[in-house]
Each structure stands twice: as structure tokens, then as C-alpha cells.
Amino acid sequence: MPTDISEFLGGYLRNGPLRLGQVRIFPECRLCHVDDSELSDLADFTDPHDAIEIARYDDAGNYRPLKTAPNLRHGWQLRLKSLEEVTLALDFLYPAALGTALALTRRALTHVDLRETLARQTGMYAITKKITDEQAEATILRTCNHEHGCIRRILWSISSGHPTPFSHRPSEVPWSKNELPILCPEACNLLVAAARKTVKSART
């Protein structure tokens, strides 16, 4: 699969620079923040594992618990040696983003609705099963919006026939030869935690 993903990425880079989230990827295996594409005074990194530290904190030095939050720090560039290294670095910056995109192109990506995700919760998170549709919508609006929440494109619904405020059908996901979307096939742990907080707050 890593080879498949690298080949998938290389196919797009033959068209020129590519955007993935807040990262610009150049055919010469250089990566930087999209806002820094034209800058020359960037801190140089040459090991794909350096992406781990780049993704760890935002510009203010605050820890980033969600790698797909729209607050990737600026001022760096990764100069790598191969598509395989680029693929590895991108997996540290945006875990599984390339693999998920590839799976969608192969019609092998399944999504899990929120109700199904919450139905699996146990222990302290079992209470999330009691969230109402209205509470779920409000929680998703706060947690998953692109402005300060998460840049993933949501493919799941709250329940069958009840999309979230941000849901996309696979055919509706914005996609071009110069930009790959970061997809969300299932609600993440941070949203489940936010749902728990919503239900508990409503009971006090």
C-alpha cells in the first residue's frame, strides 16, 4: 500500500504543485505551509520524521491535539529525497489522508454515521448515546467547522437520511488536479468527547 500511495501522489504531482490541507507539495519533493509558498527564509528540514515536530505545535507554541485543525504552524520547509519520504512526511502531518483519498478513488472507502459510532461507546462515553439530533448538530457546528475546528470533509451523517451541517456525498467533495481533500469517514474521538460534554452540560 505505501507504494500505491506514493504512486497515487506522484500522479498528481506530474501536474505541478499540489495542496493537501495547509501544505503545499512541490514536484521536487519540497513541502511547506501554503502561506509560505513564495518565501525563501524558511527553516530547512531534510528528514521526513521532522514533520512530527512541525505538526506538534501551532505558531503560538500551543499543542495541537488535532492534526487536521486549521492551525498548522508557519516558517518551515521539508526538502526530501523521494516520493516515499514525501508520503511518510504527509502521514505525520495529516495521518491517513492520502490513503483515505486513494481508497475513495477506488470506491473502497466506507463511512460510519454518528449514531453508529456513539452506539459503540462504553464507560464514561456511553452517555453520548443520549445526545439529541439538535444537540449533535450544534456540537458538530462548534467542533467540525473549517474556520477553527477541522479541515476534513465529512462523509458521514448523524443518522441515515440526516446529514450533518457539513456532510458531503463522495461525488460532492471538492477535488481537483491541484488539490486533494482530507476526508472524514467517521466521527473522531474529539467529537465524541465534545458530544459527552454536550449531554452532561444539558443535564446540569
Q: Whole domain around residue 101: which residue ranges? A: 2-105
- Averaged in consecutive runs of 10 residues, what is the pLDDT profile of the chain (204 residues)? 82 96 98 96 97 98 96 98 97 97 94 97 97 96 94 96 92 90 96 96 80
Beta strands (DSSP E) in the chain are 18-20, 23-26, 30-33, 43-45, 76-79, 153-154, 157-159, 162-163, 179-180, 183-184
Contact 77, 46 (CB under 8 A): no
72 shares its domain with 150: no
157 shares its domain with 100: no
Identify the pLDDT of residue 108: 93
70 shares its domain with 139: no
Find cell 491517513 and name the residue: 96
Q: What CATH number should be reported for the domain holding residue 9?
A: 3.30.1360.190
80 shares its domain with 150: no
Nearest in space to 181 (alpha carbons), one of 158, 159, 150: 150
> Which of 83, 105, 127 delimits the end of a domain?
105
Identify the pLDDT of residue 1: 43
pLDDT tens string 75-127: 999 999 999 999 999 999 999 999 999 999 999 999 999 999 999 999 999 99
13 shares its domain with 99: yes
Domain count, the chain: 2
120 shares its domain with 95: no
Contact 89, 82 (CB under 8 A): no
* pTM listed for this prediction: 0.92
Strand partners, 57: 63
The vertex-49 CA angle with 13 and 143, nearest 5°, equals 80
Neighbours of 117 (CB within 10 A): 18
User: What is the C-alpha to C-alpha distance for residues 55 and 73, in angstroms, rounded to an integer?
Assistant: 7
Q: Are β-strands 23-26 and 30-33 bridged in parallel, bridged antiparallel, or unpaired?
A: antiparallel
For residue 128, which amino acid is it? T
75 shares its domain with 134: no
